[in-house]
Each structure stands twice: as C-alpha cells, then as structure tokens.
C-alpha cells in the first residue's frame, strides 16, 4: 500500500518539503499566509459610523446589551449608546454597558461623559461588593476605579 501511494503521489523530497512549508506558514482558518513570528490574525477595519435610526428599545437588560453590541458592529453607535445608557440608568449589575460606553466616549474624546459613566459603574459595583456573592465584583470595581483616574487625567489635560 505504501509503495502504491508513493508511486501515485510521488516520492520526491521536494514536493513533501513544499507541503510541510505550506502547513507551517498558512493559517487554515484565515486562508492567508502568516508572518514567521506571528500566529495572530490582524484586527478588522473599523466600521464607519452611521446616522441614528429610530428603533424600539428592548425592555430586557440583556437584550439591550446584545442589540447594542450588534448595532455597534453595524456602525449605529448612537443607537448603541442609547441602549447602553438605558442599562446604566437602570443600574445594570453587569459591566458590559459601562465598559462599552466608556470606550465609545473615550474614542469620541467626550471625557466628561466617560467620567460620568465610570462613576456610575463604581457606585453600582460598590453596592454589589457588600451585597453580592459574586467573585468578579471586586476586580471589576478596581478596574473601573483605575479607568476613572485615567479618564480624569485625560479630561484635565484637555481642559487644562
């Protein structure tokens, strides 16, 4: 059987070397060659922001987060902000809307809005720290506090 396969496929070392080389330099998922030192894919290009469109806001916090993420990916950032802000208003106990709003406002250089959202996140997570059995509350609270300090520095540097 092996002799048969060698006869059909060829037994020259050169063709085997090409196959080996192709396996080590190509990412089978991306179907694109990778650099010698890299195994990670490059980031996708940023989606162009689209104008606000009238949408019905979901009643459920989770649905608003999921729809907000989807809207962001589609470029409807203003709509995503509206959905996330509704969750912040309702003191959502998850970090997603606070994280996303802080990122969006930072990108837009709206540091005062970023600070407002981070202060709300800190307030929510401080109350959770004493009342919730969740193990992730303290690390998230610390992360929000660190981000708030950075946002305050950015705000001070731009409003000198």
pLDDT tens profile 47-76: 788 999 999 999 999 999 999 999 999 999
Q: Name the CATH architecture for the domain at 61-159.
A: Alpha Horseshoe (1.25)
Q: What are phi and psi of 32, to 5 degrees?
A: -130, 145
| Whether this model's pTM surpasses 0.75 | no
Q: Are 115 and 155 in contact (CB under 8 A)?
A: yes
Domain residue ranges of the chain, discontinuous segments joined by +:
2-33, 61-159
Q: Are 64 and 57 in contact (CB under 8 A)?
A: yes
pLDDT tens profile 119-155: 999 999 999 999 999 999 999 999 999 999 999 999 9
């Amino acid at each position: 059987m092996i002799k048969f396969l060698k006869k059909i496929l060829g037994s020259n070392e050169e063709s085997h070397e090409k196959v080996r080389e192709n396996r080590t330099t190509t990412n089978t998922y991306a179907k694109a060659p990778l650099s010698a030192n890299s195994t990670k894919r490059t980031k996708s290009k940023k989606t162009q922001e689209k104008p606000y469109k009238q949408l019905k806001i979901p009643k459920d916090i989770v649905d608003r987060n999921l729809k907000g993420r989807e809207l962001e990916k589609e470029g409807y950032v203003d709509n995503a902000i509206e959905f996330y802000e509704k969750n912040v208003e309702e003191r959502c106990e998850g970090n997603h809307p606070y994280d996303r709003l802080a990122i969006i406002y930072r990108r837009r250089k709206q540091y005062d809005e970023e600070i407002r959202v981070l202060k709300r996140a800190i307030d929510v997570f401080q109350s959770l720290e004493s009342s919730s059995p969740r193990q992730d509350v303290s690390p998230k609270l610390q992360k929000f506090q660190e981000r708030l300090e950075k946002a305050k520095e950015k705000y001070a540097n731009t409003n000198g």
